[in-house]
Homo-oligomer: A and B are copies of this chain.
Amino acid sequence: MTQSLKAGQHQFRSGCSISRTLELFGDKWTLLVVRDLMWHGKHTFQELQRSDEHVPSNILSQRLRRLMDWGLLSRTPYQDRPVRYAYHLTGKGRSLEPVLLQVMAWGHENLDGGLYDPETGVSKS
C-alpha cells in the first residue's frame, strides 16, 4: 500500500471488512493523523506535524493525500504564495470516531496509555 492507494481503482485483498479497513488504516500513523484532526484542533500541515509521535513529513504528506483520495478529508487554501491548506475531516472521516474510541480504550486498559474524553476535552493518564 502506498501513497497511490485510491478509491475506485483499488483492488481489495478480500471481502472482509476488517481486511479492507486495514488496507487504509493498517499502519502506525494514519489513525494518529485522524485523531489530531478529530479531537485536537490541528488542521494545518505544520500543526499536524507537531505531535508527540513526530510523524515524518513525507509520511504525513502521503497519509493526507490518501485520506483525501478516499473522501475522508477535504482541504481548503487559507494562504496564497505559498499556498497553504487547512484540512478538515468529512462526515465519512468523522465516522471513524467509534473506531478511535475503541482503540483508545484497549490501549488504556492494556498498555497503560492515557484516556481522552472528546465530550469534555479532558485527558487523563
Q: Which residues of A contact B (CB under 8 A)?
A: 1, 12-24, 26-29, 31-32, 35, 51-54, 92, 95-96, 98-115, 125
- Is A107 touching B27 in the complex (CB atoms < 8 A)? no
A104 touches B17 (CB 8 A): yes
A22 interface neighbour in B28, B98, B105, Cβ under 8 Å: B28
A15 touches B95 (CB 8 A): no
* A111-B17 CB under 8 A given contacts A98-B105, A99-B106, A102-B98: yes
Complex: A20 Cα to B111 Cα, angstroms:
7
> Which 10 A-B pairs have CB atoms at the shortest separation, nearest pair first?
A17-B113, A17-B107, A26-B28, A14-B52, A21-B107, A20-B111, A20-B113, A17-B104, A102-B102, A20-B107
Partner of A109, one of B27, B95, B105, B107: B95
With A27-B26, A28-B23, A52-B13 as known contacts, state yes or no: A18 contacts B95, CB within 8 Å: no
Task: Tell me whether A106 and B111 are in contact (CB under 8 A).
Answer: no
CA distance A22 to B27 in the complex (A): 7
Q: Are A113 and B28 in contact (CB under 8 A)?
A: no
The distance in angstroms between the C-alpha atoms of A98 and B98, with both chains bound, is 10
